[in-house]
Amino acid sequence: MIISPSLLACDFLNIESELLAFKDFKDTWFHLDIMDSHFVPNLTFGHPIVKLISKKTEIPLDAHFMVTNPEFYIDTFKDYNIHNFTFHIEATDNALELVRKAKKLYPSVGLSIKPKTPLNSITEELLAEIDLILIMSVEPGFGGQSFIEESYKRVEHFNKLKEKFPQLMIQVDGGVTNNNAANLKKSGANNLVAGSYIFKDGPSTYKEKLESLRR
């Protein structure tokens, strides 16, 4: 089980020490929520901040692009040592072409699906080529929202497809806490993103928070 702390919830004035606080923890990625205020109402951070973060940590960077024009970001984030590049199926009509393009530049490529988007929009043709499916368990745009219970079924759907596509990592993002992590794992998730839950009580609790999500 990989846990991806979402830096959206970290202390941005002390981001370097926030990054360092995780350096000894295994099976951890840093989740970066890139929002453009078009695909989602909110605006977060972009190129300069990600570039700085990439120079300060060895932990794999997991970038979640909530943007209307993923192609621009595929091209322009390639030098920031991003391990996994995820964009939204709802943001493009040519996902397969973009996945293929991203695969040439990033070790891992993911597609994300919003809570109300039909599951069959992620076709088997796409599943054959991606490394990760990001199942949104809240409407994208903001941290600190409540987990949508129907998400378990959506995780199970992709877990069944893993028989055919064993490479697929199943990531869940939004409202993840110690109250739903075990059930998500049971449903087939093997990568959990968590923002508020991990960061809200400060660095002395990070280790225990990560462990509580793996149980």
Which residues have a catalytic role annotated?
33, 173
Chain-centroid distance, C-alpha 41: 18
Binding residue count for Zn ion, defined by CB under 5 A = 3
165 or 190: whose CB is closer to ligand DX5?
Answer: 190
Using CB positions, name the residue nearest to ligand DX5.
195
Question: Among 13-21, 121-129, 133-141, 201-209, which window interacts with ligand DX5 (CB under 6 A)?
Answer: 133-141
User: Which parts of 63-92 interact with Zn ion (CB under 5 A)?
Assistant: 64
Residue 203 has φ and ψ, to the nearest 5°, of: -60, -30
Residue 196 binding partner per list Zn ion, ligand DX5, none, with a CB distance cut-off of 5 to 8 Å that depends on partner kind: ligand DX5
Residue 170 binding partner per list ligand DX5, Zn ion, none, with a CB distance cut-off of 5 to 8 Å that depends on partner kind: none
Query: Quick one: which of 73, 43, 63, 147 has its CA closest to 110?
Result: 63
Q: Does 143 bind ligand DX5 (CB under 6 A)?
A: yes
Residue 10 token pair: 């970290």
Per DSSP, the residues of the chain read: -EEEEBGGGS-GGGHHHHHHTTTT-SSB-EEEEEEBSSSSS-B---HHHHHHHHHH--SPEEEEEE-S-HHHHHHHTTTS-EEEEEEEGGG-S-HHHHHHHHHTT-SEEEEEE-TTS-GGGS-HHHHTT-SEEEEESS-TT-SSPPPPTTHHHHHHHHHHHTTT-TT-EEEEESS--TTTHHHHHHHT--EEEESHHHHTT-GGGHHHHHHHHH-
Q: Does 18 bind ligand DX5 (CB under 6 A)?
A: no
33 or 36: whose CB is closer to Zn ion?
Answer: 33
Among 137, 141, 173, 190, binds Zn ion (CB under 5 A): 173
Shortest distance in whole angstroms from residue 76 CB to ligand DX5: 20
User: Which parts of 48-87 interact with ligand DX5 (CB under 6 A)?
Assistant: 64
Q: Does 144 bind ligand DX5 (CB under 6 A)?
A: yes
Shortest distance in whole angstroms from residue 124 CB to ligand DX5: 25
Residues near Zn ion (CB under 5 A): 33, 64, 173
Which residues make up the interface to ligand DX5 (CB under 6 A)? 6, 8-9, 31, 33, 64, 138, 140-145, 173-176, 193-197
